[in-house]
Amino acid sequence: MKFVATEDVAAPIDAVWARVCDLEAFERRAAQRVGGIRRNPSGPPGQGTEWTGTAEIMGKTRAITVTAATLAAPTQLVAEAVTDGMNITIQVELVGLGPRLTRLTVTSEGKARSLTARLMLQSAKLARKTMAKRYKARIADFASRVEKTAG
């Protein structure tokens, strides 16, 4: 299952990149939803940093591992998550449209590796329209917050 959201952000590409690659801020937000989150290696996060923890997914507590796979300043960030039988890839792309305008495209794709995960994705597909709306709203909210701090 794949979701894509694109927003034009009224901020320079470097300002948007600074917020996109602020992995410590994302870690703090994830800690509110993910139990026992640990960073490996310790120290400042960067490409190759891995986070592990447990999260409630579809009503069941599951182990999850997220890796910052690619950090290509100032245009691309790729994170890969692995949980029980499922791989999730999150790709953030930035394109400078002008000195004060940046296009932000966020793509999230989940792929099942097991029958249980396939069934989970199948049930999620029934709510695809609602999930896509929420996904786009969250990306729009993020873009709005970036504009406020960059302005």
Report whether pLDDT(151) > 80: no
Six token digits for residue 95: 């394109």
Query: Residue 139: pLDDT above 80?
Result: yes
Average pLDDT over residues 91-96: 98
**Mean pLDDT for the stretch of residues 90-106:** 97
Answer yes or no: are the C-beta atoms of 111 and 86 closer than 8 Å. Answer: yes
CA distance 131 to 146: 23
Query: Both tokens of residue 73?
Result: 């300043």
pLDDT value of residue 76: 98
The mean per-residue pLDDT over the stretch 6-27 comes to: 96
> What is the model's pLDDT at position 83?
92
Secondary structure in 3-state letters for the chain? CEEEEEEEECCCHHHHHHHHCCHHHHHHHHHCCCEEEEEECCCCCCCCCEEEEEEEECCEEEEEEEEEEEEECCCEEEEEEEECCEEEEEEEEEEEEECCEEEEEEEEEEEECCHHHHHHHHHHHHCHHHHHHHHHHHHHHHHHHHHHHHC
Architecture of the domain whose range is 2-150: 2-Layer Sandwich (3.30)
Q: In terms of pTM, does the model score above 0.85? A: yes
Summarize the confidence of residues 80-86 as an average pLDDT: 93
